Structure 1
Amino acid sequence: MRYFTVLAAAFLAAASGGNVSQADGSESKVAGPYLGQQPPGLIPEVFAPGLVSTNGWEYGGTFSPDMQEFYFLAQNEKYSDSSFILFKREGETWQETRISARKGQPFIAPDGKTLHLGRRYMERTDAGWSDVKQLDAPFSDILIMRMTASANGTYYFDTYDKDNESAPIRYSRVIDGKYETPKPLSAEINTGTYLSHPFIAPDESYILWDAKRDDGQGNSDIYVSFRKQNGAWGKAINLGDAINTDAWEASASVTPDGKYLFFSRNVGSDSYENVDIFWVDAQVLYDLRPAE
């Protein structure tokens, strides 16, 4: 199945090792927050067309907690090989840098100190990011595509398994200074196939992920579950027609300032050669929160 091939390619990219070698940056002509883009309303828009999103493959966009850095993965006319890209704000303009060959999908921990890349990571230093490091057990033997973390350090992550289309999304808390053995989330989240790319809210009040489910649009859709007052996860809620189409939508996250929902969508053929990053006002997500 083509979708599973896409997941396999994503994982293989995440599994590539190597150090980060910073290339020379080039200053863009855009200025202001969000790479100088006019914020969207309640209808998703392509993020930074011609600058970030092109006729090629751009995926997994994420901002740093201070909103001064934007990371994503790309392969397009500008970057012929799969690349890990950074836009960094310098004053009012943004500096574009190819950090390295493609790494795992980036996610920066809420404290800004760790850049997660699946089961690998980099640490923030005075000189920038460290070399790529490997997570210790119990994560070192798990094939992880996207690792995210809450403000208290709890990990939420997916599992790539070519022999199991229903491999669960799991979590692991810090107990007595060590991470516990990962546990699968409840059936509210772990129902369907291709359960992938979780994003946990910093306060763990909701979780986003993508999956193929019977109530979906036919391909991968993005879902949200809100945590109940008793601590249990609520039912999975499809983000609806404004976000999900009959195309592949995946890899959703909310900007650290809580204002915008980012996600990726295949806007090309089944070859997935034209994947763009979209954004939309996060109110579309908050409006789905059930009343208790």
Structure 2
Amino acid sequence: MKPQRVTLILPAMSLLLCSNSYAQHVFSDLNGPYLGQEPPGLTPKVFAPGLVSTPDWGDAVHFAPDKEVLYVFRWRMNNGQRETASVTFNRVAGGWQQVINTQTGRAPYYAPDGQRVFYGKQYKTRTPDGWSEMKKLGPAFDDIPMMGLKMSLKGTIVFDEFTRDGKGVLRYSKWENGEWQKPKALSKAINTGKWNAHPFIAPDESYVMWDGHREAGFGSADLYISFRQPDGSWGAAINLGERVNTAAEEGGPQVTPDGKYLFFNRMVKADGKQGKAQSDLFWVDANIIETLRPTQ
């Protein structure tokens, strides 16, 4: 997929500190986009080790559309209890400034055009004066146990419905007539296997990515992709292959706003440590997607 060119002005609210946040020092040695990290090639590598990817927490990220703000959501188990934390990195004149958030609700997710920002099943829309009041997706979504949501430039949202049997169903909804329509399940090409979760839809809707557990995988959850067919249907699920997937659990795929990099999580154990694996954040050149796209 070619990157979508979108002109954006980042909402001021994402750069301001509020009473529930406090700033630390500016990391002046982190220059350039993506926290000044050296870009990866076609072999995935850990993103910002020790700063974003830490040994004590599982980490998930989302970039604002102009890549000037990075939201990090963290989780871990402590004495059998789940703990969460969140951190924001703002790009400033002298580098990147870390902001610690004392409230640990869901991190915001910005639509690709920056005109909506989602907080789980709720969202705000951009207005001439800033942002609207919080809105709900609609009654059809109220009883759906949703984990994650992503949106295309065409107004389609995709999300995971986590069912009690643990299988998980990936659904979509289109924006029509001023509202999102009743959610529908994605095709059997996608909703197959033991379970599926964390879908990502390309801004131009040319593909959907997600993580799922299938018998033909590499051992646990793997990343899969389905490309849009000429007739509008979704093609067969394609495993992203051994450069991305391992015997460990991979999940949470998403492509950066400029279309250059694929980010995902992998459950790994810290070197020389015993106990349970922890989720680390990896990134890889998004051209790996093009190597999988079927020729028409």
TM range (shorter): 0.7 to 0.9
Corresponding position of 1:189: 190
Q: How many Å apart are 1:98 and its aligned residue?
A: 2.4
Please identify which structure carries the higher strand content: 2
Q: Secondary structure at the match of 2:139?
A: coil
TM-score between the two structures when normalised by the length of structure 1: 0.84
Aligned pairs for 1:102-141 (under 5 A) are 102-104=104-106, 106-121=108-123, 134-141=136-143
Q: 1:142 to 1:105 in 2, by over 3 A?
A: farther
2:212/2:223 contact within 8 Å kept: yes
2:149/2:157 contact within 8 Å kept: yes
Per-residue CA distance 1:93-134 (angstroms, 9 max, x = gap): 111112343333653211223332332345568998888764
Let me know the Cα RMSD of the aligned residues.
2.4
1:52/1:58 contact within 8 Å kept: no
Corresponding position of 1:264: 265
Q: 1:72 to 1:157 in 2, by over 3 A?
A: same
2:221/2:249 contact within 8 Å kept: yes
In structure 1, the gaps of 5 or more residues are 1-19
TM-score between the two structures when normalised by the length of structure 2: 0.83
Corresponding position of 2:256: 255
Corresponding position of 1:85: 87
Corresponding position of 2:21: 23
- In 1, Cα distance between the equivalents of 2:229 and 2:48? 36
Q: 1:141 to 1:42 in 2, by over 3 A?
A: same
Aligned pairs for 1:62-211 (under 5 A) are 62-75=62-75, 81-104=83-106, 106-121=108-123, 134-161=136-163, 163-211=164-212
Q: 1:101 to 1:122 in 2, by over 3 A?
A: farther
- In 2, Cα distance between the equivalents of 1:92 and 1:130? 32
* Higher CA-based Rg: 2
Identical-pair percentage: 44
1:82/1:101 contact within 8 Å kept: no
Corresponding position of 1:13: none
Aligned length: 268
In structure 2, the gaps of 5 or more residues are 1-17, 77-81
Q: 1:147 to 1:91 in 2, by over 3 A?
A: same
1:207/1:226 contact within 8 Å kept: yes
Q: How many Å apart are 1:81 and its aligned residue?
A: 4.5
2:20/2:103 contact within 8 Å kept: no
Structure 1 residue runs of 4 or more that deviate by more than 4 Å after TM superposition: 122-134
